Amino acid sequence: MIESDKSGQGNEPAVHCRGVTRSFGSGEARVMALRGIDLDVRHGELMMLVGPSGCGKTTLISVIAAILDADGGECRVLGEDLGRMRQAAKTAFRRRHIGFVFQSYNLVPALSAAENVAVPLLIRGEREKPAQAAAVRVLEQVGLAERARAMPDQLSGGQQQRVAIARALVHAPDLIVCDEPTSALDHRTGHALMQLMRSIVMENGRSLIIVTHDARIFEFADRIAEMDDGRIVAIGAPEQVHAAVPPAVPVPAPEASRSGGTAA
Ligand SMILES: Nc1ncnc2c1ncn2[C@@H]1O[C@H](COP(=O)(O)OP(=O)(O)OP(=O)(O)O)[C@@H](O)[C@H]1O
Ligand SMILES: [Mg+2]
């Protein structure tokens, strides 16, 4: 197994959260987004995170991805104690080791698809030509080679989503964190993407956390953690948690309604 320098930290899981809390605002407007999260994600594991809107999923993965600071508790990621890191070190750590797919994609409007995907490589100092070439290779993997030069506003929602996924994969991060990565994708494209992500995790011992409402992709998870009101209320294999978690949003893809949920 090929491991980059931050995977394989002995027996320590890739992500180790204990009692993680986070609130927003103050006084009467205070919202407790995370009320004490305990969660481990192993190296080579694909963990899905499900739960109703507003229960804290994005907040939790933002803390794990070192984008947002926790208020309390312990969060160790790839052997680093995030609570003890200075902001500059955190930023460097995030850029090097973590790939993040935002719920809202966050593509840079003035950059083409390939230029967007190349950003993580350019940030870490790679030269433009090889970075662009690498970006196009990942765009190929997500089925977008022919749209590499398109600008974000010339792409469909599902295509923009795949550009965002390619950008999260291009620098081969040890931990990939995705917020609803298949929400704009039809069944077949979503499945192909999950197969790609699954193979990346299995071949390279990386870890993947995917927030999703999409029951059609639950089968790709090693485990599913169910959140409610800032807490993890259940965790287990997909078939255990699957029954407890009906899709929170109606599935929009026409393929899904035709197949009557029998896709497997
Ligand atoms: N920057 C913020 N300022 C104030 N409140 C916030 C902020 N970010 C999140 N919250 C609140 O924290 C709670 C958790 O939000 P979060 O975005 O983590 O939910 P979520 O589970 O990702 O929901 P969804 O499925 O709708 O994306 C919500 O009540 C939300 O309104
Ligand atoms: Mg969210």
Q: What's the chain's average pLDDT?
A: 89
CB of 25 closer than 6 A to ligand 1?
yes
Domain total of the chain? 1
Q: Please state, as a whole number, how many other Cβ atoms lie within 10 Å of the Cβ of residue 151.
A: 16
Q: Whose CA is nearest to atom 7 of ligand 1?
A: 24
> Is the minimum distance from the CB of 58 to ligand 1 under 6 angstroms?
yes
Sign of the CA dihedral 184, 189, 190, 194?
negative
pLDDT tier for residue 256 given thresholds of 50, 70 and 90:
very low
Tens of pLDDT, residue by residue over 54-107, are: 999 999 999 999 999 999 999 999 999 999 999 999 999 999 999 999 988 999
Ligand 1 centre distance from Cα of residue 102 (Å):
13
CA of 249 to the centre of ligand 1 (A): 17
Token pair listed for 241: 């948690």
Please check whether residue 48 is in contact with residue 225, taking contact to mean a CB–CB distance below 8 angstroms: yes
Predicted pLDDT of residue 200 = 84
Q: Is residue 134 part of a domain?
A: yes
Q: Look at residues 100, 103, 248 and name the one whose alpha carbon lies nearest to residue 179.
A: 103
Looking at residue 255, what DSSP letter applies?
Answer: H
Q: Is the CB of 31 under 6 A from ligand 1?
A: yes
Q: Is residue 226 part of a domain?
A: yes
**What is the structure's pLDDT at 205?**
86
pLDDT in tens, 184-229: 999 999 999 999 999 888 777 899 999 999 999 999 999 999 999 9
Least confident span in 6-20, 64-78, 104-118:
6-20
56 C-alpha to ligand 2 centroid (Å): 7
> Taking residues 95-123, what's their average pLDDT?
95
pLDDT of residue 246: 52
58, 102, 233: which to mutate for ligand 1, most atoms within 8 A of CB? 58
Residue 90: other Cβ atoms inside 10 A: 17
Distance CA 242, CA 30 (A): 32
pLDDT bucket at 6, cuts 50 / 70 / 90:
low
Does residue 202 form part of some domain?
A: yes
- Structural domain containing residue 189: 15-245
Q: Over the stretch 200-211, which tens digit does the pLDDT of each residue have? A: 887 778 999 999
In a domain, 207, yes or no: yes
Say if 257 falls within a structural domain: no
Answer yes or no: is pLDDT of 260 > 80.
no
User: Which amino acid makes up residue 25?
Assistant: G
Q: Are 164 and 142 in contact (CB under 8 A)?
A: no
* pTM (predicted TM-score): 0.88
Report if residue 73 sits inside a domain: yes
What type of residue is 152?
Answer: P
Q: What pLDDT was estimated at residue 204?
A: 79
Q: Is any atom of ligand 1 closer than 6 Å to the C-beta of 63?
A: no
> Whose C-alpha lies nearest to ligand 1, atom 29?
54
Whether the predicted pLDDT of 134 surpasses 70: yes
pLDDT computed for residue 253 by the predictor: 52
Find out whether the beta carbon of 128 lies less than 6 Å from any atom of ligand 1: no
For ligand 1, the distance from its centroid to the CA atom of residue 95, given in whole angstroms, is: 24
Q: Per the domain annotation, does 258 fall within a domain? A: no
**What is the predicted pLDDT for the residue at 201?**
82
In a domain, 82, yes or no: yes
Residue type at 195 in one-letter notation: Q
Between the CA of 55 and the centroid of ligand 2 the distance, in Å, is 8
Give the ligand at the shortest distance from the Cα of 26: 1
CATH number for the domain spanning 118: value is: 3.40.50.300
Picking from 65, 67, 160, the residue whose alpha carbon sits closest to that of residue 108 is 160
Higher pLDDT, 257 or 69: 69
Is the model's pLDDT at 150 over the cut of 60? yes
Atom of ligand 1 nearest to the CA of 52: 25
